[in-house]
């Protein structure tokens, strides 16, 4: 075989290997794009379900608490009602604040789903800043208020008498305002750092103006807009991690541990003096299970989110557009946070028997008041109709000359007869 033919065979072999490599690479890219579409579709469905459940759950709790608080204000009469209202209304204020904050966390999900479906951010820079700032502030407030609720339960169980001055409505409102001020102040850098950037659709790399000009007419197929918040200093991530997760987690664990311990001691005293073990043990077991479920649920929903952010901030893991697995893990951690906001109404409000009972009492009183008002209106209308009928009959009698009233018989009888026919007037009428 000649040298020319050998060279030709080598060239054909290299070309064939290159074509096979391109075909394999194209198939891998197509398969990855298909996987991305499936994962994106799955996340959109999950976010939509969380949006519906979270909006309904938190909305129902907000309506229930507003109804109960309005009923308490209307019936704020007897001493017993005042003591009961002061013992529960401040708790309802905390739960109301938590439900509003969780509802605000849930309400940002439609923007996220729209961005995932469209592939880019289309709401402008101002909405981008409000989106990131509102989501971040409400997430931090949610942790704060869950900590405040554990602190309130600790005061109610461990020091019920000495904490009466603290467990009041004015203090609850002051705590809510303080938590809101601290959260907005700590997360003020989010307003400055969040912005809309142009990125490469394939690699996720940020593009400058010079890079954008290089693409020419193909810019719409390659360049997309993304709403991004990325701070270059690790200080922000560190203090938000400490204030927003570590300290609340430690306080929630401590307060609920003290609550369980105090309830165990009180139950032991009850069993010792009353010799009734079963009912007290059952109540203690139910309360302990609920407290443990609340604490574990908090750690389950928030720990992955904060750990991934800390690892990413210190480059322990590298997350980019091309790392499909890690980006999916980040979305999964974010879903857990949203799930926490959607499930909080159940944990803190809907399974609260006292809130349900107060809500039903308020509804019954409102229904009774409505029925009484409708009944009085019907009676008044009947009375007015009877008076009108009597007046019309008297006019007809006068026209016919058959009216036998004293005033109609004035021409036939004397003034003395008319006075005798009228009933005597009571003196008490003039005294009153």
Q: What is the pLDDT of residues 162-214, one digit of tens each?
A: 888 888 899 999 999 999 999 999 999 998 889 998 887 776 677 776 666 66
Residue 241 forms part of a structural domain:
yes
How many domains would you assign to the chain? 1
227 CB burial (10 A radius; 0-12, 13-18, 19+): buried
Nearest to 87 by CA among 151, 156, 2: 156
The parent domain of residue 59 ranges over 9-194+229-353
Query: What are the C-alpha distances in Å from 183 to residues 59, 172, 176, 254, 408?
Result: 23, 17, 11, 22, 82
What token pair was written down for 60? 């129902």
CATH number, domain containing residue 257: 1.20.1070.10
Q: How far apart are CA 132 and CA 77, in angstroms?
A: 46
Single out the residue of 120, 133, 267 nearest to residue 196, CA to CA.
120
Q: What tokens were used for 190?
A: 């989010």
Judge contact between 65 and 16, C-beta under 8 A.
no
Q: Which residue has the higher pLDDT, 331 or 367?
A: 331
Query: DSSP per residue over 360-387, as a string?
Result: HHHHHHHHHHHHHHHHHHHHHHHHHHHH
Residue 183 tokens, joined? 């959260």
Cβ–Cβ under 8 Å, residues 176 and 94: yes
Report if residue 31 sits inside a domain: yes
The Cβ of residue 391 has, within 10 Å, a number of other Cβ atoms equal to 10
**pLDDT(18) > 50:** no
Query: Given this model, what pLDDT does residue 316 score?
Result: 83
Answer whether 33's CB lies under 8 Å from 324's CB. no
**Residue 242 per-residue DSSP state:** I
CA distance 335 to 283: 34
- The predicted model gives 140-169 an average pLDDT of 92
Question: Where is average pLDDT lowest: 25-39, 41-55, 280-294, 372-386?
Answer: 372-386
The tokens for 93 are: 């204020």
Least confident piece of the model among 36-45, 192-201, 297-306, 418-427: 418-427
Looking at residue 379, what is its pLDDT?
Answer: 61
Q: Is residue 164 part of a domain?
A: yes
Q: How far apart are CA 186 and CA 238, in angstroms?
A: 12
What is the average pLDDT across 205-228? Answer: 72
Domain-embedded: residue 339: yes
Q: Is a pLDDT exceeding 70 seen at residue 57? A: yes
**How would residue 429 be classed by pLDDT, with cut points 50, 70 and 90?**
very low
**Tens digits of residue pLDDT in 241-258:** 999 999 999 999 999 999
Q: What is the pLDDT of residue 400?
A: 53
Q: Does residue 303 register a pLDDT over 50?
A: yes
**Residues 6 or more apart in contact with residue 301 via CB below 8 angstroms:** 336, 337, 339, 340
The answer to whether residues 74 and 320 touch, using CB atoms and an 8 Å cutoff, is: no
Least confident of 181-190, 261-270, 308-317, 370-379: 370-379
In a domain, 395, yes or no: no
Do 88 and 192 contact (CB within 8 A), yes or no?
no
When pLDDT is averaged across residues 7-29 and rounded to a whole number, the result is 45
**Which pLDDT score is estimated for 20?**
40
- Please compute Rg for the chain using Cα positions: 37
Question: Which is more confidently placed, 398 or 334?
Answer: 334
Better pLDDT: 399 or 327 = 327
Of 12 and 380, the one with more pLDDT: 380
| Average pLDDT across the chain, whole number | 77
* Secondary structure (3-state) at 80: helix
Q: Could you tell me how many residues make up the chain?
A: 432
| 93, part of any domain | yes
pLDDT of residue 126: 92
Residue 417 is assigned to a structural domain of this protein: no
Q: How confident is the model at residue 284 (pLDDT cuts 50, 70, 90)?
A: confident
* Stretch (H or E) spanning 330: helix 324-345
In a domain, 431, yes or no: no
Say what the pTM is.
0.76
Neighbours of 207 (CB within 10 A): 19
CA 406 to chain centroid: 72
């Amino acid at each position: 075989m000649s040298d020319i033919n050998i060279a030709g065979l080598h060239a054909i072999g290299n070309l064939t290997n290159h074509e096979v490599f391109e075909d394999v690479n194209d198939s891998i890219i197509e398969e990855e794009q298909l996987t991305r579409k499936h994962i994106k579709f799955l996340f959109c469905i999950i976010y939509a379900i969380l949006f519906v459940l979270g909006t309904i759950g938190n909305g129902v709790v907000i309506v229930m608490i507003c109804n109960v608080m309005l009923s308490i204000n209307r019936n704020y009469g007897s001493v017993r009602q005042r003591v009961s209202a002061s013992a529960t209304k401040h708790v309802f204020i905390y739960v109301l604040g938590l439900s509003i904050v969780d509802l605000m966390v849930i309400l940002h999900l439609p923007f996220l789903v729209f961005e995932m479906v469209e592939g880019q951010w289309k709401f402008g820079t101002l909405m981008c800043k409000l989106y990131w700032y509102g989501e971040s502030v409400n997430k931090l407030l949610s942790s704060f208020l869950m900590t405040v609720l554990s602190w309130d339960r600790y005061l109610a169980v461990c020091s019920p008498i000495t904490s009466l001055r603290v467990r009041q409505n004015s203090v609850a409102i002051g705590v809510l305002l303080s938590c809101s001020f601290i959260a907005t102040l700590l997360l003020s850098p989010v307003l400055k750092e969040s912005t809309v950037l142009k990125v490469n659709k394939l690699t996720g790399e940020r593009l400058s103006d010079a890079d954008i000009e290089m693409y020419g007419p193909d810019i719409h197929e390659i360049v997309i807009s993304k709403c991004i918040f990325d701070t270059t200093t690790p200080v922000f991530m560190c203090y938000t991690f400490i204030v927003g997760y570590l300290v609340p987690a430690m306080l929630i664990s401590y307060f609920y541990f003290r609550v369980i311990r105090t309830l165990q001691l009180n139950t032991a005293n009850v069993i010792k003096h009353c010799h009734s073990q079963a009912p007290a043990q059952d109540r203690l077991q139910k309360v302990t299970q609920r407290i443990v479920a609340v604490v574990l649920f908090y750690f389950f929903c928030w720990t992955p989110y904060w750990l991934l952010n800390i690892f990413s901030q210190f480059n322990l893991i590298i997350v980019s557009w091309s790392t499909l697995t890690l980006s999916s893990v980040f979305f999964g951690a974010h879903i857990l946070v949203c799930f926490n906001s959607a499930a909080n109404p159940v944990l803190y409000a809907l399974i609260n028997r006292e809130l349900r009972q107060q809500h039903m009492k308020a509804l019954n009183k409102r229904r009774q008041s409505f029925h009484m008002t409708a009944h009085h209106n019907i009676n008044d209308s009947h009375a007015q109709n009877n008076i009108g009928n009597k007046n019309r009959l008297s006019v007809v009698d006068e026209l016919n000359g058959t009216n036998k009233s004293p005033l109609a018989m004035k021409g036939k009888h004397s003034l003395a007869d008319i006075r005798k026919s009228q009933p005597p007037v009571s003196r008490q009428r003039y005294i009153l």
